[in-house]
Amino acid sequence: MITIADISFWGGVGVIGSSKVLIEQGEWRVLLDFGLDFQPGAGLFRGSVRPRPGQILKDRLRVGGAPWIPHLYRADAMAGLDLAGGSDGHTALFITHGHIDHVGLTGWVDPDIPIYASPETQRLLEALSDSGQGTEGGQAKVQALQAGAPLDFGPFRITRYPVDHDVVGASGYSVETDDGIVAFTGDIRLHGRHPDRSLHFAEQVQGARALVIEGTTLSSGFRHAQKPECDVDREFENCLAHTPGLVWMTMYPRNLERVEAFLAIARRYDRTILWPDSQARFLARWALGEAQALSDVIPTAIAEHPERYIIQMEVSEIPRLLEFPHGPGTVFIHSNGEPLGPFDPDYALLHEWLTLAHVPFWSIGTSGHASPDDLRLLVEKIHPDILFPLHSMEPDRLLPPPGTKRWLPERGGRRFSLA
C-alpha cells in the first residue's frame, strides 16, 4: 500500500520554544522534540498558577499546552480523557537538545515509546534529574543515538547530526520518508564555539524535501549581528580585571562549555564561583569537581574578602544582596541566565534591587540562536523544496531563496503533505 508522508506542528507556532514536529507515514509516527512552553510572562500556567497536582498532564492537555496525539502518553496520567494512551509500537521520539522547551513533556511519554538523543543530552538529563531538576511527570528513559549512524523505524530512516547551540549535545535530524527527507535544525547557530557542526549538518541534508528551521532571532529586537562566544569570554575576563569587589552573576548552567570557560577565567583571577545548591550538585554530577555551593561558604568569609568570590544568583535569593558588601566596586553580570530578559517580570525586579544597592549591571552574553543572516545562509546552503520556519514569533520574516516554497506552520496540527 502506498502511503504519503505528512508533517504537522504541535508547538513552536508563533512562539519561541515548545517545539513538537510530527512526521507521519501510514500508521507510523516520528516526533521531533517534545517541549513545554517556557514563557515566564505568558501562558495560562505562570507565576503562582500551576496545573493541579495529580492532574498536571490532563490540565495541560485541556488548555492546549500539550498536544492531542494518540498513543503517546502514559495511560495512567490521562485516565478519563477521550484520547488513546499507551504505545501502539508505531511512535518514536527524537530530542534535539536538553532545554525545557524541547524536552519538558517527555516525563509523560509512555515508557514503551523509544526516546533518542545525543549521548551528551542523555547525560545532561540524568545529571539534571539527579540534582532535583528533572522534568515534570518523572524522568523518561532516553537512549543515546550516535551521530551519523542511521536508525530505521518503520518506513523512516533517522540520522542525528551534532549542531551548535548554547547547550552541550545539541543535534539536528534528518528523517528520510518515502516522499523525501525532512531536516530539522532544532535550535542552531553559527556564532558559537562549533560553527563547523552546524555547517556539516547543512551539507548532509542539502536538497531536502522539507527543512524545518528555528527562527528565534527573526523577531524585532534581534536585528543586530550576534557576538561570538569567544567575545563573551573576553568580556568576562575584562570585567574581572576591573572589578575590585564582589561579582554577582547569572548564567545558564546547562551552557556547560561557558561554565567551563568562566571557571578557568575565574581561576586566573583567584576567584571562586559559588553556586546555588542544586546547580552545584548538577555541575558535580557532570564531573566539574570544582563547583562549590554558596551554602558551603560562611558569609563572613565573603564579607571579609569579596574580591575572592563570584556568586551565581537565583532570582529568589536577590535580597542576599543586602548581606554582602555592595556599592562601588561590586558588579552584576548578566550572562544569559535567569531572569532571561525583559519579557520575564523578574527582570525588572532584579533591576530595581540593583538600583537600590547601586550595583552596576553588565550584560555579557550572546544568543544561542543564529542571526537572521545566518538563518538565511543555512537555508540557502540546504536549499530545500519546502521551508517551514518554526520556533519564532515572526516566522514570515524568513524569506525563501528562489526555488524554495515557504509554508508557515499552523497551530493545532494541520497536516502538510510532503508528496
Interface ranges with Zn ion (CB under 5 A): 17, 101, 187
Q: Are 258 and 369 in contact (CB under 8 A)?
A: no
Strand, helix or coil for residue 251: strand
**Closer CB to Zn ion, 187 or 235, in the complex:** 187
User: Closer to Zn ion at the Cβ: 187 or 374?
Assistant: 187
Q: Which is nearer to Zn ion, 5 or 22 (CB)?
A: 22
Residue 83, all three cell numbers: 484520547
Q: CA gyration radius for the chain?
A: 22
Nearer to Zn ion by C-beta: 20 or 271? 20
Q: State the minimum distance, in angstroms, from the CB of residue 21 to Zn ion.
A: 12
Q: For Zn ion, which is the closer residue by CB, 180 or 215?
A: 215
What is the closest distance, in whole angstroms, from the C-beta atom of residue 216 to Zn ion in the complex?
A: 7
For residue 400, the minimal CB distance to Zn ion (Å) is 22
Nearest to Zn ion of 22, 331 (CB atom): 22
Cα 177 to chain centroid distance, Å, stands at: 27
Residue 392 beta carbon to Zn ion: minimum distance, rounded to whole angstroms? 10
Query: Closest approach of Cβ 212 to Zn ion, in Å?
Result: 13
Q: Is 258 helix (H, G, I), strand (E, B) or coil?
A: helix
Cα(318)–Cα(329) distance, rounded to whole angstroms? 18
Note whether 336 and 366 are within 8 A (CB).
yes
Separation between Cα atoms, residue 48 and residue 61, nearest integer Å: 19
Q: How far is the CB of 275 from Zn ion (least distance, A)?
A: 24
Closest CB to Zn ion among residues 24, 187? 187
SS3 call for 39: coil
Which grid cell is 75? 495511560
- Minimum CB distance to Zn ion, residue 330 (Å): 33
Whichever of 24 and 101 has its CB closer to Zn ion, that residue is 101
Strands in 28-32's sheet, in edge-to-edge order, are 143-144, 115-117, 91-94, 28-32, 21-25, 5-9, 416-417
- Going from the C-alpha of 120 to that of each of 35, 96, 137, 218, the distances in angstroms are 18, 11, 22, 29
C-alpha 246 chain-centroid distance: 30
Alpha helices in 323-419 (DSSP H): 345-356, 372-382
Give 187 or 229: the residue with its C-beta nearer to Zn ion. Answer: 187
Query: Contact 274/286 with Cβ under 8 angstroms?
Result: no
Least distance in angstroms from the C-beta of 73 to Zn ion: 22
Smallest separation (angstroms) from Zn ion to the CB of 17? 5
DSSP alpha helix (H) spans, 42-111: 56-62, 100-103
Q: Which residues of 209-229 are buried (b: 16+ CB within 10 A; e: fewer)?
A: bbbbbbbbbbeeebeeebbbb
